[in-house]
Every structure is written in structure tokens, then in C-alpha cells.
């Protein structure tokens, strides 16, 4: 069993770090009292493979009285044979104060008549011993979320499993609304519409006659080439920034013909770029259409 104890300054990003570690395969618990770490670790150690990698966030929110015992707890766990490490997250005082002011939340150490600056200063003093004994220290001052994810992956991610950007390509009809989960949206209503050809009206973009019609135009071919070129540039950059899911939405009027054909073709091209890809046709089977 591996146990990672996450602690540090309030507002430094500990809860966010726990979420990233969960993505890396850790079982995570946020805001566990320091006095409960030893008992919880014992429970996990005897509970099988589900708890072979555990990350616990223990910070000032549960009270400061138990913090002096964290280092002692780590020593006890290591003597038990539990691989135990301590991660400390910090940031400079101005950054901590700014983050609290932006969220309009009170610092957990603030007392009546005390400022955020004063509470943050007292917390730095209280946690100095933990910072000095930490195995890893990450300063999140001016650190974007994607950078924190990358730092944690380097330290704790499973390097045998490649972090891959998963892409979903979704067709939709504008008259039914743009998918809320879309990251990138492309409008293909400029293409000639098969809806106005009677033999194709009841078909979809997955049927060969519709697909062949849509791709019989030079503008469709040019659009696909330019879109593929753009994605060859974008997808690696999204992956570098730590993004693991990307939704590309392709829209036409009703979501039945043009967007479906383009979505199928685009998904195949992305697959050839060696990205995991799935396709979804949200509005293709709707019957309340008057245009496509």
C-alpha cells in the first residue's frame, strides 16, 4: 500500500490536487482530521487492492491541535511497512490573500476582528514543521491548474500508462441547441443540404447516398482538410495543458444529414492521428425535423 498525505496552506490547492490524484488512480479523502490518519491507513492496508494507493488531505480545516502528530504518524506507518509520503502545497501570502478575497470565503483560522493576512501568517508558522519534513513541496503561486496536474503526474502518476487526450465528436442540430459540454463548435450549415433532395430526406448522414452527396462538393473537401490541419495543431496542445477530455461539436440545422456525415469522417481522421475517439449523434434520430 502507498499512502500520500497532502497538507499545506489554506488556499494553496490541496483539494484540487486530490482530484487530480484521483484521476491518476488514487483513492482520495479530503479533509480528514490528523488524529484519524493512522486508523484510516490501517483500515486501508487491510482492505485489499482497492486501497493500494491512497491520498489523504489533512489541513487546518479540521483544527490545528492534531498537526504536531502527523510526522509521528508518518514514522509509525513507515515502521509498519506502509510506503508513506508527505506532500506540502504552499503559495506566497499575497496569492493566498487574493484567492480568499476572490472567493469571498473566510480563512479557517480567522478570528473575530482578524484579517485574512493575519490568519494566513499564523498558518504559515503553525505548518512550518510539516513543510520542513515534507517529501515534496509544490509552490502554486502563479501556477495554472494544468501545470499543477502535470507536476503531480510527474511525481505520482503511473508512467506505464500514457496520459491520452480522449476526443468525442458530436453531431447536433442548431434548432435543438448547442451541446452544453462542447469545447469546440463547428457550423457546417454552409454546405449544400441533402434535406431538399426527396430521396435523401428520410436518410441520415450515415447512409452512403447522403455521405457521398455531402462530400461531392469541393468546399466540403477543403473544409475537412483545413479542420484536420487545425486539429493536428490543437490536440497536442490540449494534451500538453493536461486536458484529458475534449468534445468537438459539429452542427447543421436539424442534426440529421450534414453534421452526421462530417462527424463520422472527422472521427475517423482523429483516430488516424492515434487519439482515442468516440462519436455521438445527438439529434440524428429525432423525428420532429423540418430541415437538416
Tell which CATH architecture fits domain 2-156.
3-Layer(aba) Sandwich (3.40)
User: Cα(65)–Cα(61) distance, rounded to whole angstroms?
Assistant: 11
Cell numbers describing residue 186: 463547428
Tell me the per-residue pLDDT of 41-77, one tens digit each, with 9 for 90 and over: 888 877 766 788 999 999 887 666 666 678 888 888 8
Tell me the per-residue pLDDT of 234-257, one tens digit each, with 9 for 90 and over: 999 888 777 888 999 999 999 999
Stated as kind and residue range, the H or E segment containing 105 is none
Cell numbers describing residue 250: 459539429
Count of beta carbons in the 10 Å neighbourhood of residue 100: 19
Q: Nearest Cα to 14, choosing from 27, 31, 2, 38?
A: 31
User: Cα(72)–Cα(56) distance, rounded to whole angstroms?
Assistant: 16
Mean pLDDT of 102-127: 87
User: Cα(5)–Cα(28) distance, rounded to whole angstroms?
Assistant: 10
Count of beta carbons in the 10 Å neighbourhood of residue 178: 13
* Residue 270 vs residues 205, 215, 260: alpha-carbon distances, Å: 18, 18, 15
Domain parsing of the chain, residue ranges: 2-156, 166-281
* Residue 285 vs residues 192, 211, 256: alpha-carbon distances, Å: 21, 16, 7
Query: In this predicted structure, what is the pLDDT of residue 240?
Result: 78
Tell me the per-residue pLDDT of 161-208, one tens digit each, with 9 for 90 and over: 556 788 999 999 999 999 998 999 999 999 999 999 999 999 999 999
Query: In this predicted structure, what is the pLDDT of residue 73?
Result: 87
User: Cα(149)–Cα(53) distance, rounded to whole angstroms?
Assistant: 17
Nearest 10 degrees: Cα torsion 283, 288, 290, 292: 10
Dihedrals phi, psi of 169, to nearest 5 degrees: -110, 125
Amino acid at each position: 500500500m502507498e499512502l500520500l498525505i497532502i497538507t499545506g496552506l489554506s488556499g494553496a490547492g490541496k483539494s484540487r490536487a486530490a482530484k487530480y490524484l484521483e484521476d491518476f488512480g488514487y483513492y482520495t479523502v479530503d479533509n480528514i482530521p490528523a488524529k484519524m490518519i493512522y486508523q484510516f491507513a490501517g483500515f486501508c492496508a487491510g482492505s485489499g487492492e482497492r486501497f493500494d494507493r491512497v491520498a489523504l488531505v489533512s489541513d487546518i480545516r479540521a483544527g490545528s491541535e492534531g498537526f504536531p502528530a502527523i510526522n509521528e504518524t508518518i514514522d509509525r506507518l513507515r515502521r509498519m511497512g506502509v510506503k508513506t509520503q508527505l506532500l506540502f502545497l504552499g503559495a506566497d501570502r499575497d496569492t493566498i490573500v487574493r484567492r480568499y478575497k476572490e472567493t469571498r470565503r473566510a480563512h479557517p483560522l480567522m478570528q473575530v476582528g482578524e484579517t485574512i493576512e493575519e490568519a494566513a501568517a499564523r498558518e504559515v508558522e503553525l505548518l512550518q514543521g510539516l513543510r520542513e519534513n515534507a517529501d515534496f513541496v509544490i509552490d502554486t503561486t502563479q501556477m495554472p491548474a494544468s501545470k499543477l496536474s502535470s507536476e503531480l503526474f510527474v511525481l505520482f502518476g503511473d508512467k506505464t500508462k500514457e496520459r491520452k487526450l480522449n476526443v468525442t465528436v458530436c453531431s447536433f442540430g442548431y434548432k435543438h441547441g448547442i451541446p452544453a459540454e462542447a469545447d469546440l463548435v463547428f457550423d457546417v450549415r454552409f454546405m449544400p443540404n441533402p434535406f431538399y433532395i426527396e430521396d435523401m430526406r428520410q436518410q441520415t448522414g450515415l447512409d452512403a447516398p447522403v455521405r457521398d452527396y455531402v462530400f461531392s462538393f469541393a468546399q466540403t473537401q477543403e473544409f475537412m482538410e483545413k479542420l484536420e490541419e487545425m486539429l493536428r495543431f490543437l490536440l497536442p496542445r490540449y494534451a500538453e495543458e493536461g486536458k484529458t477530455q475534449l468534445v468537438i461539436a459539429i452542427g447543421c440545422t436539424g442534426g440529421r444529414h450534414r453534421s452526421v456525415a462530417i462527424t463520422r469522417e472527422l472521427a475517423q481522421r482523429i483516430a488516424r492521428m492515434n487519439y482515442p475517439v468516440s462519436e455521438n449523434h445527438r439529434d440524428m434520430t429525432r423525428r420532429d425535423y423540418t430541415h437538416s
